[in-house]
Chains A and B, each alone.
Chain A
Amino acid sequence: MRKFKEFIIERLIFACGIASIFFVILIFLFLLKEGLAVFKTIIPFNFLFGKNWYPISEPPQLGILPLILGSLLVTLGAAIISIPIGVACAIYIAEIAPLKLKEILKAGIELLAAIPSVVLGFIGMVTLLPWVKNIFNLPTGLTALSGSIMLAFMAMPTMVSIAEDALYSVPKTYKEGAFALGATHWQTIWRVLLPAASSGILAAVMLGIGRVIGETMAVMMITGNAAVIPHSILAPVRTLTATIAAEMGEAVVGSEHYFALFAIGIVLFIISFVINVTADLCLHKRQ
Chain B
Amino acid sequence: MRNPHRTQKIAFFFLFLANLLIVVPVGLIVVIIIQKGLPAINWEFLSDIPRQGMRAGGIFPAIVGTVYLVSGAIIFALPIGLLSAIYLSEYAKDNFLTRIIKLAIVNLAGVPSVVYGLFGLALFVVFLKFGASILSGSLTLGIMILPVIITASREALESVPYSFREVSLSLGASKWQTIRYIVLSNAIPGILTGTILGLGRVAGETAPILFTVAAFYLPQLPKSIFDQAMALPYHLYVISTQVPNVDEKIRYGTALVLLTLVLFMNLVAIIIRYRFRKKKKW
- Using a CB–CB cutoff of 8 Å, the interface residues on chain A facing chain B are 2, 6, 9-10, 12-21, 23-24, 26-27, 30-31, 33-34, 84-86, 88-89, 91-93, 96-97, 104-105, 108-112, 114-123, 125-127, 153, 156, 160, 184-187, 190, 207, 210, 213-217, 221, 241, 244-245, 248-249, 253, 261-262, 265, 268-269, 272-273, 275-277, 279-280
Known: A14-B87, A184-B4. 14 other contacts (CB 8 A): A2-B174, A17-B91, A18-B97, A27-B116, A112-B26, A116-B203, A116-B205, A116-B206, A117-B204, A156-B22, A214-B113, A221-B240, A245-B210, A253-B126
- Using a CB–CB cutoff of 8 Å, the interface residues on chain B facing chain A are 4-5, 7-8, 11-12, 14-16, 18-19, 21-23, 25-27, 29-30, 32-33, 79-84, 86-88, 91-92, 97, 100-101, 103-119, 121-123, 126-127, 143, 146-147, 150, 174-176, 200-201, 203-207, 210-211, 233-234, 236-237, 240-241, 248, 251, 255, 258-259, 262-263, 266
Cβ contacts A to B, 24 pairs, < 8 Å: A10-B175, A15-B83, A16-B80, A17-B86, A17-B101, A20-B105, A20-B108, A21-B104, A89-B18, A92-B18, A105-B19, A109-B26, A118-B206, A119-B233, A122-B237, A123-B32, A184-B8, A187-B4, A214-B114, A215-B112, A216-B114, A248-B121, A272-B110, A276-B110
Once bound together, how far apart are the Cα atoms of A86 and B174, in whole Å?
Answer: 48
Judge whether A108 and B26 touch: CB under 8 Å. yes
The 4 closest A-B pairs by CB, nearest first: A116-B204, A214-B112, A17-B87, A16-B83
A125, A160, A185, A268: the one within 8 Å of B112 (CB):
A268
Once bound together, how far apart are the Cα atoms of A216 and B210, in whole Å?
Answer: 11
Min distance, Cβ A28 to any Cβ of chain B, angstroms: 9
Once bound together, how far apart are the Cα atoms of A31 and B111, in whole Å?
Answer: 12
By a CB distance below 8 angstroms, the chain B residues around A31 are 115, 118-119, 122
Write the chain B residue with the least CB distance to A88. B18
Of listed B23, B27, B118, residue having the most chain A CB within 10 A = B118
B15, B107, B174: the one within 8 Å of A272 (CB):
B107
Given A92-B19, A109-B22, A214-B112, A262:B122 Cβ within 8 A: yes
Judge whether A186 and B83 touch: CB under 8 Å. no
Given A20-B147, A26-B123, A31-B118, A115:B262 Cβ within 8 A: yes
Judge whether A16 and B207 touch: CB under 8 Å. no
Judge whether A14 and B106 touch: CB under 8 Å. no
Judge whether A245 and B174 touch: CB under 8 Å. no
Once bound together, how far apart are the Cα atoms of A276 and B248, in whole Å?
Answer: 39
Given A30-B127, A89-B22, A244:B8 Cβ within 8 A: no
A33, A104, A207: the one within 8 Å of B122 (CB):
A33
Min distance, Cβ A115 to any Cβ of chain B, angstroms: 7
Min distance, Cβ A181 to any Cβ of chain B, angstroms: 13
Write the chain A residue with the least CB distance to B126. A253
A105, A123, A261: the one within 8 Å of B118 (CB):
A261
By a CB distance below 8 angstroms, the chain A residues around B86 are 13, 16-17
